[in-house]
Amino acid sequence: MLRSALIAASRSAGCRTAVERTPLLRPIVDRFVAGSDVDSALRVASQLAVDRMVTLDHLGEDTLDRAQAEQTVEAYRTVLARLAREGLGERAEVSVKLSALGQALPVDGDKIALENTRRICEAAAAAGTTVTVDMEDHTTTDSTLSIVRALRADFPGTGTVLQAYLKRTEADCADFAGAGSRIRLCKGAYDEPASVAYRDRSEVDASYVRCLRVLMNGDGYPMVATHDTRLIEIAEHLAAGRKRDSYEFQMLYGVRPQVQDELAARGLRMRVYVPYGTEWYPYFMRRLGERPANVGFFLQALVRR
Ligand code: FDA
């Protein structure tokens, strides 16, 4: 229930103002967000790139303003040019949210998001790297997957995300398990209705394992995005017949850093999702909802302000 409340708050303008005006929260935000500008993101990326890989997320989502979507494209072109200049193209890619690139615009949203993302894919190819398209709430899944299919025709390395909490995902994994596909499998971060999603944790975990099995048995490149050590163990078991460079683990910046260190130290492929930028509020609220202890710190800071 708490998680649902925080996800609802992530879309509330009033809560946003209250949270953004609470300086005591800054240390908690800084734990999950690498900074507000490209320099901070690049600093964190180059530190991590010593023994792991990175995907950079320029924070922002749900835009209904075409000019803002255009600014997001420019922000990605800037960071990709910097990755190339600093020789990080092989270790760092970018993650994008289609709702920041125009998908939710009332007219031609899908077409605009496709063209905007295509321009980011062009910049990524020039920088020697790839793009992964994040997945948002279930109302966007079909649109996102069809945009990713269109992008893959020209940029075959384009990856996307499938969410184990959705009942449709096992079938989507089968569709995307072919050679060349890059699928990040996560549990799912939005508050979805029982008509489309498993709501019970154990059902989500069971679905995650079924989906993982499909991806690991396929010819694509599975990206195992979870901090759940039980699922990580199962993933290692299912990957037993695979080469070590044919799949990777992914975790969020600031979450379970010791587990990230351990996987990297064992020579497994580990990628960290590093968000940066000023639009941190919705991302931050979703992260709070994932662990009750985070909410305790958050409430203490709000009460003390
Ligand atoms: P679970 O929530 O069960 O957590 C397992 C354990 O990890 C917890 O017990 C806790 O110890 C620790 N933990 C997890 N989250 C924490 C947090 N925020 N703070 C502190 N500890 C925490 N979702 C989505 O809908 N679309 C997307 O595109 C993506 N992209 C994405 C990329 C990457 C690289 C990751 C790792 C995750 C995503 N997600 C996502 C988020 C994902 O769907 C999910 O909400 C979170 O990863 C939490 O789920 P876990 O699998 O970690 O399990």
pLDDT band at 11 (very low <50, low <70, confident <90, very high): confident
Listing DSSP states for 68-81 in one string gives HHHHHHHHHHHHHH
Do 300 and 272 share a structural domain? no
Say how many domains are in the chain: 2
- Find out whether 150 and 114 touch, Cβ atoms under 8 Å: yes
Do 163 and 43 share a structural domain? yes
- The H or E element spanning position 4 is helix 2-9
Q: 132: Cβ below 6 Å to ligand 1? A: no
Q: 59: Cβ below 6 Å to ligand 1? A: no
Residue with tokens 């390395």: 157
Do 40 and 22 share a structural domain? no
Predicted TM-score (pTM) of this structure: 0.96
Mean pLDDT across the chain: 95
Do 44 and 29 share a structural domain? no
- Tell me, what's the pLDDT at 8? 87
In the predicted structure, residue 79 carries a pLDDT above the cut 70: yes
Q: Which domain holds residue 165?
A: 35-279
- Is 176 inside a domain boundary? yes
Q: Whose alpha carbon is nearest atom 5 of ligand 1?
A: 228
Do 172 and 24 share a structural domain? no
Q: Which of 9-13, 41-45, 73-77, 226-230 has the lowest mean pLDDT?
A: 9-13
- Is 165 inside a domain boundary? yes
- CB environment 185-223: b (16+ within 10 A), e (fewer): bbbbbbbbeeeebbeeeeebbebbeebbebbbebebbbb
- Is 106 inside a domain boundary? yes
Which of 7, 183, 227, when mutated, tests ligand 1's pocket best, judged by the most ligand atoms within 8 Å of its CB?
A: 227
Do 221 and 102 share a structural domain? yes
- Tell me, what's the pLDDT at 163? 98
- Is 305 inside a domain boundary? yes
Q: 228: Cβ below 6 Å to ligand 1? A: yes
Do 144 and 11 share a structural domain? no
In the predicted structure, residue 304 carries a pLDDT above the cut 70: no
Q: Which of 20-29, 114-123, 136-145, 192-201 has the lowest mean pLDDT?
A: 20-29
In the predicted structure, residue 292 carries a pLDDT above the cut 80: no
Do 170 and 244 share a structural domain? yes
- Tell me, what's the pLDDT at 214? 98
- Find out whether 224 and 249 touch, Cβ atoms under 8 Å: yes
- The H or E element spanning position 101 is none
**Largest distance between two CA atoms of the chain:** 54
- The average pLDDT across 103-132 equals 98
CATH code of the domain containing 170: 3.20.20.220
Is 58 within any annotated ligand binding site?
Answer: no
- Is 284 inside a domain boundary? no
Do 76 and 9 share a structural domain? no
Q: 226: Cβ below 6 Å to ligand 1? A: yes
Facing residues of 93 across strands? 55
Do 301 and 153 share a structural domain? no
Can you tell me the distance from the alpha carbon of 229 to that of 238, in angstroms, rounded to the nearest whole number? Answer: 14
Can you tell me the distance from the alpha carbon of 288 to that of 62, in angstroms, rounded to the nearest whole number? Answer: 19
Do 65 and 27 share a structural domain? no
In the predicted structure, residue 298 carries a pLDDT above the cut 80: no
First to last CA, the chain: 25
Cα dihedral sign, 294-295-300-301: positive
Is 226 within any annotated ligand binding site?
Answer: yes
- Tell me, what's the pLDDT at 134? 98
- The H or E element spanning position 289 is helix 281-289
Q: Whose alpha carbon is nearest atom 51 of ligand 1?
A: 226
**pLDDT tens figures, 192-217:** 999 999 999 999 999 999 999 999 99
- Is 219 inside a domain boundary? yes
Do 125 and 9 share a structural domain? no
**pLDDT tens figures, 237-275:** 999 999 999 999 999 999 999 999 999 999 999 999 999
In the predicted structure, residue 112 carries a pLDDT above the cut 80: yes
- Is 164 inside a domain boundary? yes
Listing DSSP states for 231-270 in one string gives HHHHHHHHTTTS-GGG-EEEEETTSSHHHHHHHHHTT--E
- Find out whether 226 and 209 touch, Cβ atoms under 8 Å: no
- Is 244 inside a domain boundary? yes
